Amino acid sequence: MAYNSQQREANLAKVQAFLEDIAIYSIDEETADIYGQFKAEIFAKFAPKEKKKRRKTRIQDLGISDNDLSIAAIASALRTYHSFSRQRF
């Protein structure tokens, strides 16, 4: 929206200032593995048991978005990393 505003430069500066305090976490191999584990566990517990119905089921059909699952996986990976880092010192 900042790009379409009348005060584009001022609003872009505000967005940039806001983003400076936000950490951005990438999805590494560990996070991808956790994501897959979470998704498999959710399907095992909540997806239809019938194979034909299960194939057509998406994670959103179970009430969880892919973004929510990604956030949970990143948080879990970071918690694991931070716990490991604290134990080492």
What are the pLDDT digits (tens) for 29-45?
Answer: 999 999 999 999 999 99
Average the pLDDT over 13-28 and give the result: 88
Alpha-carbon torsion (25, 27, 28, 30), positive or negative: positive
Checking if the pLDDT of 84 tops 50, the result is no
User: Nearest 10 degrees: CA dihedral of 12, 13, 19, 21?
Assistant: -170
What's the pLDDT at 24?
82
Distance CA 52, CA 55 (A): 6
pTM, to two decimals: 0.67
Average the pLDDT over 49-74 and give the result: 93
